[in-house]
Amino acid sequence: MNTATKVTLYGVALAAIFGGTWAAGAAAGPPETPPPAHTEAHDTHEQAPSQLPPGLSVSDNGYTLRLDETKPGTFHIEGPDGNPVTKFAVEHEKRLHLIAVRRDGSNFQHVHPQMAENGTWTVPLTFPEPGSYRVFADFRPESGPKTTLGADVQVAGDYEPRQHPNSRTFTVDGYEVTLKGDLDANAASTVEIDIAKDGKPVTDLQDYLGAKGHLVALRADDLAYLHVHPEQSGQVKFAVEVPTAGKYRLFLDFKHGDTVRTAEFTLTTHEEGGHGH
């Protein structure tokens, strides 16, 4: 592949990944700057503010995550008018998904808070170990775009960060969970997950959040929260939009025997011409 082709593909991938952001930005931004028909590599620096991956900011698209400092499981989403948002669209069967993970990529939790009429959300959220945690709220207001906001919560005590070497297999409660597929930078990558128990494939997974499992993918260096879509009904298969080369933490929630369990993986993007697998 020559350099010109690479640059073009890079631009196409960026346009595909950030197409939604462009549309939202164009609607809110000055009318004299329409989005370009195609994206050149040299334009990248001009796009930085609106094209960051989701989850890196406490405030985005006019919405702000307001955690109750004394009770991190209590919070509201402040809307563009400064008031708590009370109307949310249902996505993956819930109006809001709350994810908590320590900054070292450990202690992942995915819970579904309840909202009071005034827009205050609550969920029992406990942090099992000291450290700095990232809390993400993933939602779509009825009158706004899909948004993921993140805020930090500090849990006092001696913090011993963990290393997460690359790993494609995880065992939880006797379930052996294996991730297949590679992550490619600047692209939508497909990963598929096999689940076995006692050496036999589990073929009767229950639906969870409208699919055969729910995947959260985070960029290890900054916990950017990637776009992930279930690819096919009936399979544990996902498209993951990977913005940059590097290491990623992936967390799969799956349901079997009426219990939701989480498997976690660490992948580094596939290097062209490398020895990834």
Q: What is the binding site for Cu ion (CB under 5 A)?
A: 97
Nearest approach in angstroms of CB 97 to Cu ion is 3
Nearer to Cu ion, 97 or 270 (CB): 97
Q: Residue 212 carries which DSSP code?
A: B
* Position closest to Cu ion via CB: 97
Cα torsion angle, 268, 269, 271, 276, sign? positive
130 near 161, Cβ under 8 Å? no
Nearer to Cu ion, 153 or 260 (CB): 260
Nearest approach in angstroms of CB 215 to Cu ion is 11
Nearest approach in angstroms of CB 96 to Cu ion is 8
Nearer to Cu ion, 210 or 257 (CB): 210
E-only strand ranges, 82-186:
88-89, 96-102, 109-111, 114-115, 121-122, 131-141, 147-155, 169-172, 175-180
Nearest approach in angstroms of CB 92 to Cu ion is 6
- Alpha-carbon gap, residue 95 to 255, rounded angstroms: 20
Nearest approach in angstroms of CB 94 to Cu ion is 5
Nearest to 250 by CA among 168, 132, 136, 156: 168
Nearer to Cu ion, 95 or 270 (CB): 95
Query: Using CB atoms within 10 A of its CB, is residue 254 exposed (0-12), middle (13-18) or buried (19+)?
Result: buried
Nearer to Cu ion, 25 or 141 (CB): 141
Please, how many CA atoms are within 13 Å of residue 243, restricted to the half-sphere of its CB? 20
Nearer to Cu ion, 97 or 102 (CB): 97
List of long-range contacts for 48-52, beta carbons under 8 Å, 24+ apart:
50/21, 50/22, 50/25, 51/14, 51/18, 51/21, 52/224
Nearer to Cu ion, 140 or 168 (CB): 140
Please, how many CA atoms are within 13 Å of residue 262, restricted to the half-sphere of its CB? 16
Nearest approach in angstroms of CB 114 to Cu ion is 13
Nearest approach in angstroms of CB 239 to Cu ion is 18
Distances (CA, A) of 100 to 28, 61, 245, 273: 30, 21, 24, 36
